Amino acid sequence: MTTTPRSTPVPVLIAGDHFVTPDLVRDALLARIGPVFTARTLTSSWPYTPFGPVAEVDEACGDEDELIAALAGVEVAVTQMAPFTARVLAAADALRLVVVCRGGPVNVNLAAAAEAGVEVRATPGRNAVAAAEHAVALLLAALRQIPDRHAGVRDGAWRSDLYALSEVGSELAGSTVGLVGYGAIGRRVGRIVRAFDAEVLVHDPYADPSTLDGVTPVGLPELLERSQVLSLHARLTPQTAGMIGARELARLPRGAVLVNTARGGLLDYEAVLDALESGHLGAAAFDVFDVEPLPAGSRLRTAPRVVLTPHLAGATRQTAERAAALAADAVADYLATRGR
């Protein structure tokens, strides 16, 4: 259902990038609300230029002055990476809504937005499917050491000795998988690995009890002691920072596999590396790190039995399309509540 066209279109800034593109957002808005807006566009250089802090906001990309100029007279802004700093928000007199095409509005100064009377919305769940599938892909790759085997064959090796009991990998079926965090991504991972006939344990004090069918909620110590596979899906907060360190890793069964596609700050990577080198951890797979990009001298680059990807678990075409659609829903809701 679209919104009935009004005589005065809503001025919208689409501050896109090369993932959630302005065209993608414009098409989603047209499909959701119809031609009741006029669009101005701005395209940042992300992901060709890495994101980072801009003034006081994190994980942003773009120039404050360019954004201020583009926001002149704009009521609604849709973005993924643009830096909505206190300075930008103070200069945007007409702005009433910012929609961030991400799970959270980390590139917006929320206190400054509230002071300026600007509503801020995000698009949680946009990458849940992609991130869950990537986590399971990493899990399976680590269990069977697929990247190392692939590299060996490409280099001309054909090693029958890899059938030795000391060299073979493990099956997911029949194993116990521990999930730390059971939000949208953790729940989807749980459903996928249960289809592989794995038992699923969950540690998440905030999990909705109605979502726990088929999985077993336990305390963190019990989860660690029983899990042959540990996969992290918690948010990074002051309470969860560094929650998995040497003491927690020591509770895992010898040979366990560790996967982190959530946030690097959840994990003590030096302790992980020690556990890999000692053989206590059988393998590990990471899409996120405590320092990004991964430094040239990082021990992870030469660690045994590790699978690494560069923080792209959520990077699918469907994620970008879903983010644009969810942003359009947020704009439609804003217009409906104001009788536009």
Q: Which CATH superfamily is domain 128-308 in?
A: NAD(P)-binding Rossmann-like Domain (3.40.50.720)
Q: Which two tokens stand for residue 177?
A: 């998988």
Strand (E) or helix (H) holding 166 = none
Over residues 33-84, the pLDDT tens digits come to: 999 999 999 999 999 999 999 999 999 999 999 999 999 999 999 999 999 9
The answer to whether residue 126 is catalytic is no
Q: Of 292, 301, 317, 338, which is the active-site residue?
A: 292
Strands 37-43 vs 10-16: parallel, antiparallel or unpaired: parallel
Q: What is the pLDDT of residue 3?
A: 47
Q: Of 87, 119, 311, 321, which is the active-site residue?
A: 311
Over residues 303-313, the pLDDT tens digits come to: 999 999 999 99
Pair 319, 103: CB distance under 8 Å: no
Q: Which CATH superfamily is domain 10-126+317-337 in?
A: NAD(P)-binding Rossmann-like Domain (3.40.50.720)
Pair 7, 340: CB distance under 8 Å: no
Pair 268, 292: CB distance under 8 Å: no
| Same fold? 10-126+317-337, 128-308 | yes
The answer to whether residue 119 is catalytic is no
Residue ranges covered by each domain of the chain:
10-126+317-337, 128-308
Q: What is the pLDDT of residue 1?
A: 44
pLDDT of 2 above 60: no
Identity at 224, one-letter amino acid code = L
Percent of the chain with pLDDT over 70: 97
- CA angle, residues 197, 263, 181, in degrees to nearest 5: 45
Average pLDDT, rounded, for the chain: 95
Q: Of 26, 102, 134, 263, which is the active-site residue?
A: 263
The answer to whether residue 311 is catalytic is yes
